[in-house]
Chain A
Amino acid sequence: MPHLTGKHFFALLLLLPLSLLLASCAAPDNGALRFGLSKMPVTLDPRFSTDATSSRINRLLYQRLVDFDAASMPAPSLATWQKLSPLHYRFTLASERALFSNGERLTSEDVKATYAFILDAENASPHRLTLARSIERIETRGDDVIDFILKEADLLFPGRLGIGILPRALIESQHPFNRSPLGSGAYQLVAWPDDTHLRLKRRSDDLLLEFIEVTDPNVRVLKLMRGEIDMMQNDLPPELIRYLSNESGITITHGAGSNFAYLGFNMEDEFTGVQQVREAISLALDRDSIIQYVLGESARPANALLSPDHWAGAPALHQIAYDPAAAKSLLMPLGYTPENPLHLTYKTSSDPFRLRLATVIQQQLAEVGIKVELKSYDWGTFYGDIKAGRFQMYSLMWVGIKLPDIFRYVFHSTAVPPEGANRGRFIDAETDRLIEAAEAANTIEKQSELYQQLQHHLVQQLPFVPLWYEDHVFIARDHVSGYTIARDGNYDGLLDVKRQ
């Protein structure tokens, strides 16, 4: 055994870290426009993506047959369509269309291969269910025409074809699109060197774009202020947005959003299952104050799941009033007063901002005689409890709602988890009837009318209290221009973004 002196030991102790330090040097800044994200995309394979970030970035990498207009009505994207019969839709690809980034032309065979892969149960695509319910088979007619034959009439069918199209040859060779995406979108992958950096290139002008994950919102703001990132969207608490609004060299843009926040009830619970209790809660909430003081004016009060500008929205729906006196008078006959309060539990996630909102709601309900115990859990536990019906009240948000079939998914009596997302176990014959009638409608106009009736009915039944639609906030350094905020919060603004 060699003699180890103290000097040798210290030298070893210092040399090991030093050698690792020198090995740690990474690539320097590459001059790209840098976009700060709170979470990186999980997968860049649109057949499997379900998280918002993946879906938003996939929109930049892949083209899809159908998109949505400002009223969330399906609109042509890569293809136009004809409804040849209630069970037969024909899609024709645009003659002028971008090539895949490997130079290949996108054809009807690529469309068929993409959807056939999703429909194959063995591939376990999370998008299979929605499509498998509708599609009987897919047929191609030449390079540009694809026929979708349906199992049953579905007025909303074109709106279900929003998945990015992949090249057939690479699907067949089991190309790993999740890390090496290859589409015909406006951007193409340059590199995904690690899980916190993703580099894309805009195909029209070679503009480099780098997504950088910065989990902590404070640090994301500091990076923006120091110029280490150039822009970001959402995922910031209002106080940080207020702070940034006083900083020079930074521009903040707000855009109306359609992400719907609500307070859900367990209808099987002996307390929240009572109509008067739910009404009292809805009347006790001062949503305008919460929007003004807690959300920093970055939201619009909501009265229904679909925003009023949605084609099936209900703009005539009356605003739920803030009336604590009426709330008290509803609780009084039930024996509850501020002195003898009703005790309820309210579950929320451990996100600090959601917890703060819950605290404000707790205080507002206390004033009318409802003593709320807050319980916050990590996301998985919280979500698991909600799906299992282990709650009295909870708050959550619906993100990216486009099609009104969400109503079946959320409110139909057959949609209790795991069959759907009727988490509150709301069973109501009239609601079922209106949903089924809307689905069976022959025209979009009739369908819209029935969904509006449904939303009026839901406001009376109150299986949830609509809270607000949260705005989208885009924050950029002054040299960034040309970005427009999308209503659903996607990153399509990056198609036109410029560095001045």
Chain B
Amino acid sequence: MLSFVISRLLSALFVIFGVSCLVFFLIHLVPGDPVEVMLGESSQPADREALRAALGLDQPILVQLMNYFNGLLHFDLGESLHSKRPIADMLMERIPATATLAAAGLLVAVIIAFPLGIMAAMKKDTAWDSGAMFFSLFGISIPNFWMGPLLILFFSLWLGWLPVSGQSGIESLVLPALTLGTALAAILARMIRATLLEVMGEDYIRTARAKGLSERAVIMNHGLKNAMLPVITLLGLQLGALLGGAMITEIVFSWPGIGQLTIDAINRRDYPVVQACILLISLTYVVVNTLTDLVYAWMDPRIRLGNAQ
């Protein structure tokens, strides 16, 4: 297991390095001059050159890359071009909001998806199954930018139960979490149904039944556990996406997370902030996927043994 963990961590480090390089070069390829963004359209060439030198943008691209990595190694992401605030502070302010929303979305998804997926699998080809899969299709089909306002209209405006948007307490989390979670639940429920149906046809399930175990025990202890591997993979990928900032949902609900910060920075051409946000999103994906791989190996010895061999 240790060698598996080490190989996965090394691989993650390599990916992080690659992503950092890619982000750096892509940002420098984007049209637009950050110096002009800072000084305005009518700034004088002398002022522009002075600022370019002050920011180190007059140096060769490889020197800039080295400086960038030097900053990263010292956890220095630089300053926002517009607000002049340290980017690390800006990210640290936003990460809890995004993590909270991601966690809440995941919770909603799990609460909805597991009963729905198990029910659909257990009552295959019945009205229950059709109903569950219809809900699932419904959830996948509705985009968040429409689902969000619909939920706001119903729960906030008509019923008056919940706030429209913002981050003003736990009640303000319900609607964005529902919006995010419903779409994820739909995908997850279909996955659980499919994998559970596959697993429930295996010999060991027949053996468990033959031993006289209750159907609940068969599903929970044998079926579901073995059906979890692809579900965990999916959850890992989705969690990575959620932690990277659910941009649409954050914008609809004015949720002050990473997604909204990224969009704002792109609109303002605040390149260092864009760079840091993309790097953070990429890092999140890498970390979550590495963790998923490790959980995967932990749950299925064949994976770590196969890797060791």
Contact = CB atoms under 8 A, between A and B. Distances in A.
B228 interface: yes
B287 to A, nearest CB: 15
B254 A212 contact: yes
Contacts of A216: 149, 251-252, 254
A117 to B, nearest CB: 14
Interface string A336-371: 000000000000000000000000000000000000
B204 interface: no
Nearest to A387: B41
A228 B96 contact: no
Given A124-B51, A129-B47, A195-B90, A381 B254 contact: no
A402 B148 CA distance: 41
Interface string A372-392: 000000111100100100000
Contact of B83 (A178, A225, A226, A380): A178
Contacts of A80: none
A39 B260 CA distance: 11
Contacts of A223: 164-166
Contact of A128 (B47, B261, B269): B47
Interface in B289-309: 298-299
Contacts of A24: 96-97, 100, 104, 167, 170, 173
Contacts of A316: none
Nearest to A417: B41
Contacts of B166: 196-197, 212, 214, 223, 228
Contacts of A22: 170
30 contacts: A13-B106, A14-B107, A17-B106, A20-B103, A21-B107, A23-B100, A24-B167, A25-B170, A26-B168, A39-B264, A43-B82, A43-B84, A121-B46, A121-B47, A121-B50, A126-B39, A195-B94, A197-B166, A212-B254, A216-B251, A219-B152, A219-B165, A219-B253, A223-B164, A226-B160, A226-B164, A378-B267, A384-B32, A387-B41, A420-B42
B11 interface: no
B158 to A, nearest CB: 10
B103 A219 contact: no
B42 A409 contact: yes
Given A195-B93, A387-B41, A124 B47 contact: yes
Interface residues of A, number: 67
A380 B270 CA distance: 10
B298 A418 contact: no
A14 B110 contact: yes
A13 B291 CA distance: 14
A6 B164 contact: no
Interface string B84-125: 110000100110110110011011001000100000000000
Contacts of B103: 16-17, 20-21
Contacts of A51: 82
Contacts of B70: none
B254 A214 contact: yes
B272 interface: no
Given A25-B170, A126-B43, A228-B164, A195 B256 contact: yes
A197 B256 CA distance: 9
B85 A178 contact: yes
A45 B83 CA distance: 9
Given A28-B169, A195-B93, A380-B269, A215 B260 contact: yes
B72 interface: no
A48 interface: yes
Contact of A126 (B38, B93, B253, B260): B38
A205 interface: no
A214 B253 CA distance: 8
Contacts of A9: 228
B299 to A, nearest CB: 7
A129 B148 CA distance: 45
Interface in A201-230: 212-216, 218-219, 222-223, 225-226, 228
A122 interface: yes
B99 A20 contact: yes
A84 interface: no
Nearest to A221: B164
B151 to A, nearest CB: 11
Contacts, number: 179
Contacts of A486: none
A179 interface: yes
B225 interface: yes
Nearest to A28: B169
Interface in B120-173: 148-149, 152-153, 156-157, 160, 163-170, 172-173
A381 B31 contact: yes
Contact of A21 (B51, B104, B167): B104
B61 interface: no
Given A13-B110, A222-B149, A379-B267, A418 B164 contact: no
B44 interface: yes
Interface string A172-207: 000010110000000000000011110000000000
Contact of B157 (A4, A21, A194, A222): A222
A29 interface: yes
Nearest to B105: A17
A222 B164 contact: yes
A228 to B, nearest CB: 5
Nearest to A388: B31
Given A17-B103, A179-B83, A194 B256 contact: yes
Contacts of A126: 38-40, 43
Contacts of A194: 93, 97, 167, 256
B83 A43 contact: yes
A208 to B, nearest CB: 15
A126 B267 CA distance: 19
Nearest to A29: B168
A18 interface: yes
Interface string B248-280: 000111101000110010111100000000000
Given A219-B152, A228-B166, 20 more contacts: A6-B224, A17-B106, A21-B107, A21-B173, A28-B169, A43-B84, A45-B84, A129-B42, A194-B97, A195-B90, A195-B93, A195-B94, A216-B252, A219-B165, A219-B252, A223-B164, A226-B160, A380-B267, A418-B45, A420-B41
